[in-house]
A and B are shown apart, each in its own frame.
Chain A
């Protein structure tokens, strides 16, 4: 399992691995927002938390179609499926690698982009906390979507169509934590809900992901 994780991390950092693409996308989306809605800092401060969450979510989505498709194309998935490692572990490790290379950098970059969007000071802490708790769920749910569409030639668009509705609860609670935090409201309830969603998806969804992957490998 550790070997697989290390290999995926290595692949992500090597040339053409796509590390940083999601981060760059996050940056660009965030920078485009003021162009679209106008530069008034009060308006930006109101929407900053939501925009940053949405940007992080889209950046996550962007890298999902490479998550399993590359291993599928070169036959690695067939070989991994016959290896002693259960597929449940494979998809969990894949999701973890995706989070480490995409989710975690987004969490770290979010406060800097928060400055650009005039995020109120108390919001920074809650933004980081909500992203830290919420992005693992995005990776795990995304892995499920990637496993569903892995056998398809042009699965990218379909992947987005399938995964985005599944992202709704995470987005609602995650952005709610950041938004409430920014205006000084209590954040405990949405944060607990967010943590609950993340914990439940990590615990249960890999079984579904492995099941659909098995079906796709047939």
Chain B
């Protein structure tokens, strides 16, 4: 199959029925693999890695904190992409997937913030500091809240999809702007993103690197979170599709069909 044909085949999933059928088939795989990955990653990380020489056992919260933080941002990116697809190609499933992802993003952001606070308390001696990274996540949280609130507030589903998509686009630009503004405003305590830097992985970067012994269980956890996110999005999109179908049927009844 050529790439173009493959791309065309992908759009077939824009049909809600086809999407439901396929997602129901693949969902068990995602549920099981994500649970296995997270379980293995957490047990490995919690019980089979040494304590950090500086941070002690508190470092182990990294296995929740980093994957949640990654997913909090990637979830917004996914919403941005699906919003664009909705605006350009008008596939309802795409808009509903964005709607379905938002609450997951909120939970991921909250997990990142709460685990960050729990980690920060012993490390920095405070639950909360107006550090750029923390502040950015707090702002991201506000963006999620506004996005979800707008979905909830508008009755007509297509109007809601359109308006939230534009909000997502504009919000993304302002979120990036806020990130730079916050960086400028305060230089901060948080270490740099040390997990996925090439140097950190290969071990050539000796500053603030996450050493391999912590990295592998963390990688398993991250994969687990990604799989969990996919499973949740597929599952929740299915729910949204059914809710949307009920709404359409009710509306049709009112019109007198």
Q: Please pick, from A148, A164, A176, A215, the residue contacting B185 in the complex, using a CB distance under 8 A.
A: A176
Report yes or no: B163 in contact with A148, Cβ–Cβ below 8 A.
yes
Report yes or no: B159 in contact with A215, Cβ–Cβ below 8 A.
yes
Given contacts A152-B154, A172-B185, A193-B181, contact A165 B159 (CB under 8 A): no
Interface of A, helix, strand, loop or mixed by DSSP: helix
Report yes or no: B181 in contact with A211, Cβ–Cβ below 8 A.
no
Within A202-218, which residues are at the interface with B (CB < 8 Å)? 205, 208, 211-212, 215-216, 218
> Mask for B141-169, Cβ within 8 A of A = 1, else 0?
01101100110011000010011001101
> Mask for B97-118, Cβ within 8 A of A = 1, else 0?
0000000000000000000000
Q: Size class of A's contact patch?
A: 20 to 34
B106 CB to closest chain A CB, in angstroms?
13
Report yes or no: A165 in contact with B150, Cβ–Cβ below 8 A.
no
Cα–Cα, bound, A218→B166 (Å): 16
Report yes or no: A161 in contact with B171, Cβ–Cβ below 8 A.
no
Within A149-166, which residues are at the interface with B (CB < 8 Å)? 149, 151-152, 155, 158, 161-162, 164-166
Cα–Cα, bound, A193→B183 (Å): 13
Contact of B182 with A by CB under 8 A: yes
Contact of B84 with A by CB under 8 A: no
Report yes or no: B149 in contact with A165, Cβ–Cβ below 8 A.
no
Contact of A190 with B by CB under 8 A: yes
Report yes or no: B150 in contact with A148, Cβ–Cβ below 8 A.
yes
Given contacts A168-B174, A190-B184, A193-B184, contact A215 B163 (CB under 8 A): yes
Contact of A173 with B by CB under 8 A: yes
User: Which of chain B's residues have a CB closer than 8 A to the CB of A169?
Assistant: 174, 177-178, 180-181
User: Which of chain B's residues have a CB closer than 8 A to the CB of A168?
Assistant: 139, 174, 178, 181-182
Report yes or no: A161 in contact with B145, Cβ–Cβ below 8 A.
yes
User: Which of chain B's residues have a CB closer than 8 A to the CB of A190?
Assistant: 184
A213 CB to closest chain B CB, in angstroms?
10
Q: Please pick, from B159, B167, B169, B182, the residue contacting A172 in the complex, using a CB distance under 8 A.
A: B182
Q: Size class of B's contact patch?
A: 20 to 34
B136 CB to closest chain A CB, in angstroms?
10
Chain B residue at minimal CB-CB distance from A148: B163
Report yes or no: A166 in contact with B169, Cβ–Cβ below 8 A.
no
Cα–Cα, bound, A148→B171 (Å): 12
Cα–Cα, bound, A22→B175 (Å): 27
Contact of A197 with B by CB under 8 A: yes
Report yes or no: A155 in contact with B174, Cβ–Cβ below 8 A.
no
A52 CB to closest chain B CB, in angstroms?
17
Report yes or no: B162 in contact with A166, Cβ–Cβ below 8 A.
no
User: Which of chain A's residues have a CB closer than 8 A to the CB of B143?
Assistant: 165
Chain B residue at minimal CB-CB distance from A214: B162
User: Which of chain A's residues have a CB closer than 8 A to the CB of B174?
Assistant: 165-166, 168-169
Contact of B170 with A by CB under 8 A: yes
Contact of A53 with B by CB under 8 A: no
Cα–Cα, bound, A169→B185 (Å): 10
Cα–Cα, bound, A150→B2 (Å): 47
Given contacts A151-B154, A158-B149, contact A166 B171 (CB under 8 A): yes
Chain A residue at minimal CB-CB distance from B135: A168
Report yes or no: A216 in contact with B146, Cβ–Cβ below 8 A.
no
Cα–Cα, bound, A142→B159 (Å): 20
User: Which of chain A's residues have a CB closer than 8 A to the CB of B166?
Assistant: 148, 208, 211-212, 215
12 contacts between A and B (CB under 8 A): A151-B154, A158-B149, A158-B150, A165-B143, A166-B170, A168-B139, A168-B174, A169-B178, A173-B181, A189-B184, A197-B177, A212-B162
Report the 5 A-B pairs with minimum CB-CB distance, sorted nearest first.
A172-B181, A169-B181, A165-B142, A169-B177, A162-B146
